[in-house]
Amino acid sequence: MTRLRCDPAVIRRDEYKSNRYYLNVMQSSQRDEGRTIDIGGIARQMYVGGSFLGGFIQHHRHRIAPVAKLVDVVPTGSDVLDIGCGGGLLLICLASAGRIQSAHGIDSSSDAIETARKAAIRLGGFIQSPTPNFECRSVEQGLPDGTFRVVCLIDVLHHVSPSAQEKAFRDAVAKVRPGGILLYKDMCDRPLWRAGMNRLHDLVIAKQWIHYVPIESVDRWALDCGLQIELAQQISMLWYGHELRVFRKSGADS
């Protein structure tokens, strides 16, 4: 894939206009740290080509999921592990906003990882800061070595069998460095009509019958692991419902 450059003297006019729009989005978000970045604009610039459905999902995911909120709670300069990263939109946005020192995303879908890698290559043509690394790996193969300041577990547990959900959560906690955070989000199991729409979405897109995890169970597991709850929110977007948690691990953050 051809990497775009930011020098208007060496790129075509349409590429320059595209770069200029993207850089305005990125610089605007960096000038005002608390401001919501233009997730849709970033997605449209980074996810080009490929299947129509895949591009449509990435371009419009911010309309049904709180991606901007997830970006906002990640401290600048973090090293991040995103478990079940999908097409990599969260890490691409974190890199675009200058939030990461390094980032590693894993997912069991080879198609999703290929999409994420192409987006990361394209992103490298726009920014000088680090871009994410993506790996095709299932959680059954084990998580990457080391610990991280931020571990993301976003819309993962409902794809895990109920008997293995607690272990998957605890495995993610083990990868959080002392003083770091576990960023958790999953779809709500109530009210029933929102839960039903969530389930229908996964039946159509992922072709899976999902297994909801009551947020009370997640909170209990977190407390058992010695985590503190720093943020607890229920977020509704269109007809979708989300449970968001930021859990802090005790200890000094290096």
- Note if the pTM is more than 0.85: no
User: For residue 70, what pLDDT is reported?
Assistant: 97
Say if 126 falls within a structural domain: yes
| pLDDT score of 151 more than 70 | yes
> Is there a domain that residue 2 lies in?
no
Q: CA dihedral defined by 154, 19, 77, 237, rounded to 10 degrees?
A: -30
Residue where the block lists tokens 């709500």: 188
Q: Is the pLDDT of residue 16 over 80?
A: no
What pLDDT, in 10s, does the model give residues 156-214? 998 899 999 999 999 999 999 999 999 999 988 888 777 777 777 666 666 666 788 99
Domain of residue 202, CATH code: 3.40.50.150
Structural domain count of the chain? 1
- Domain extent, residue 83, equals 13-249
Task: Please write the tens of the pLDDT for every residue from 79-137.
Answer: 999 999 999 999 999 999 999 999 999 999 999 999 999 999 999 999 988 999 999 99
pLDDT at 23 over 70: no
- Asked whether residue 1 is domain-assigned, the answer is no
Measure Cα distances from 162 to 166, 209, 223 in Å: 8, 12, 19
Q: Is residue 5, in this structure, part of any structural domain at all? A: no
**Residue 4 belongs to a domain:** no
Q: Does any domain span residue 8?
A: no
Residue 61 pLDDT > 70: yes
pLDDT at 77: 96
- Residue 85: partners with Cβ closer than 8 Å, 6 or more residues away: 91, 105, 106, 107, 112, 113, 116, 134, 152
* Least confident stretch, 14-18, 32-36, 55-59, 67-71: 14-18
